[in-house]
């Protein structure tokens, strides 16, 4: 029953996020999908070497150069896209990217960070945090 629910959840994303749908179905990176009415066609993507590139602002996606073309790698799936989603640069809450199990933050400068904890099913996560005193003076409570 749970497996059917997982597939149903994945299918609901097939139109808006075909890369996330393919990741849920295939359980590994390197696939995308094309939504076609009541079906979705899974496609295998060709792996290409990319280099992280400097950016003057922050994005949800990782700024890269692939085969001479500037673009971005989507979170989780690492699918190349030409358009990134702007986000506010934040030292406290930076965008974090997984590069072959090495985690970096870009703000917009690159910094190595600790690997985030993994959320386990049916388990309430334990929060480990550092107190950030400046948050109480900047209007976030």
Of 129 and 74, the structure prediction assigns the larger pLDDT to 74
Do 70 and 108 reside in the same domain of the chain?
yes
Residues 54 and 22 in one domain: no
Q: Do both 27 and 64 map to the same domain?
A: no
Q: Sign of the C-alpha dihedral, residues 24, 28, 33, 39?
A: negative
**Between residues 132 and 126, the one the model is more confident about:** 126
* Domain span at 96: 50-113
The CA-atom distances, in angstroms, between 125 and each of 6, 7, 38, 67, 114 are: 21, 25, 37, 41, 17
Predicted confidence (pLDDT) at residue 10 exceeds the cutoff of 80: no
The confidence score (pLDDT) of residue 8 equals: 76
pLDDT at 34 over 80: yes
Q: Are residues 54 and 109 in the same domain?
A: yes
Contact 15, 35 (CB under 8 A): yes
Distance (Å, whole) CA 75 – CA 23? 11
Question: pLDDT per residue over 38-85, tens digit each?
Answer: 788 999 999 999 999 999 999 999 999 999 999 999 998 999 999 999
pLDDT digit string, tens, across residues 78-107: 999 999 999 999 988 899 999 989 999 998
- Pair 60, 102 in one domain: yes
Distance CA 78, CA 99 (A): 9
* C-alpha span between 107 and 56 (Å, rounded): 9
């Amino acid at each position: 029953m749970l497996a059917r629910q997982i597939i149903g959840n994945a299918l609901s994303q097939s139109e808006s996020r075909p890369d996330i749908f393919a990741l849920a179905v295939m359980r590994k990176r390197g696939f995308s999908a094309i939504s076609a009415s009541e079906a979705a066609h899974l496609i295998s993507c060709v792996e290409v070497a990319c280099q992280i590139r400097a950016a003057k602002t922050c994005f949800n996606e990782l700024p890269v150069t692939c085969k001479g073309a500037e673009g971005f790698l989507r979170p989780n799936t690492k699918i190349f896209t030409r358009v990134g989603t702007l986000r506010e640069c934040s030292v406290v809450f930076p965008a974090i990217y997984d590069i072959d199990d090495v985690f970096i933050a870009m703000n917009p400068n690159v910094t190595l960070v600790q690997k985030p904890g993994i959320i386990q099913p049916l388990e309430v996560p334990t929060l480990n945090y550092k107190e950030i005193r400046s948050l109480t003076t900047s209007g976030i409570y």
